[in-house]
Structure 1
Amino acid sequence: MTHTDLDDVKPRLGRKRDHTRDPEILDAAIDVLAETGYDGMTIDMVAARAKAGKATLYRRWPSKPELVLDAVACMKSNDIDFDALPDTGTLRGDLIAMIKPHGIRDHERKLRVMAGIVSMIARNPELAAAARDALVEPRATVNRIFFQRAMDRGEIPADSDIEKLCMIGPAMVAYSVLMLGEPIDREFLIANIDTVILPAAGVRVATQ
Structure 2
Amino acid sequence: MTQIDLSTPKLGRKRDHSRDADILDAALEVLAETGYDGMTIDMVAARAKAGKATLYRRWPSKAELVIDAVACMKKGAYSLEDLPDTGTLRGDLVALIKPHSIVDAEKKMKVMAGLISMLSRQPDLADAANAAIIEPRASVNRVLMQRAIDRGEISPESDIEALALISPSMASYRTLILKKPVDREFLISLIDGVIMPAVGLRARAS
Using structure 2 for the length normalisation, give the TM-score.
0.72
More helix by percentage: 1
Distance in 1, matches of 2:194 and 2:65, equals 38
Q: Deviations over 1:124-170 (max 9, x none)?
A: 68744433333222211110011122223332233222122112222
Which residue, 73, 77, 93 being the options, matches 1:95?
A: 93
Radius of gyration: which is bigger? 2
| 1:59 Cα deviation after fit | 5.4
Sequence identity, in percent?
67
> Counterpart in 2 of 1:204?
202
Q: Deviations over 1:56-96 (max 9, x none)?
A: 54455444244334434544514534233222221111101
Which residue, 29, 32, 40 being the options, matches 1:31?
A: 29
| 1:28 Cα deviation after fit | 0.9
Distance in 2, matches of 1:137 and 1:57, equals 26
90-99 vs 61-70, greater mean Cα deviation: 61-70
1:118 aligns with 2:85: no
Using structure 1 for the length normalisation, give the TM-score.
0.71
Unpaired segments ≥5 residues, structure 2: 1-11
1:183 aligns with 2:181: yes
Unpaired segments ≥5 residues, structure 1: 1-13
Question: Is the alpha carbon distance of 1:62 and 1:154 closer, same or farther for their aligned partners in structure 2, counting shifts above 3 Å?
Answer: closer
Q: Deviations over 1:90-132 (max 9, x none)?
A: 1111101111125998888666544423354477687444333
Which residue, 47, 50, 58 being the options, matches 1:49?
A: 47
Spell out the pairing of 1:128-147 with structure 2 (5 A cutoff).
128-147=126-145
Spell out the pairing of 1:60-75 with structure 2 (5 A cutoff).
60-75=58-73
Question: Is the alpha carbon distance of 1:64 and 1:156 closer, same or farther for their aligned partners in structure 2, counting shifts above 3 Å?
Answer: same
The 3-state SS of whatever aligns with 2:75 is coil
The number of residue pairs the alignment matches comes to 195
Question: Is the alpha carbon distance of 1:185 and 1:69 closer, same or farther for their aligned partners in structure 2, counting shifts above 3 Å?
Answer: closer
Note the aligned Cα RMSD (angstroms): 3.6
Distance in 1, matches of 2:98 and 2:154, equals 25
Distance in 2, matches of 1:157 and 1:84, equals 25
Distance in 2, matches of 1:83 and 1:73, equals 18
Which residue, 148, 154, 173 being the options, matches 1:156?
A: 154
Distance in 1, matches of 2:103 and 2:151, equals 32
Question: Partner amino acid for 2:87?
Answer: G
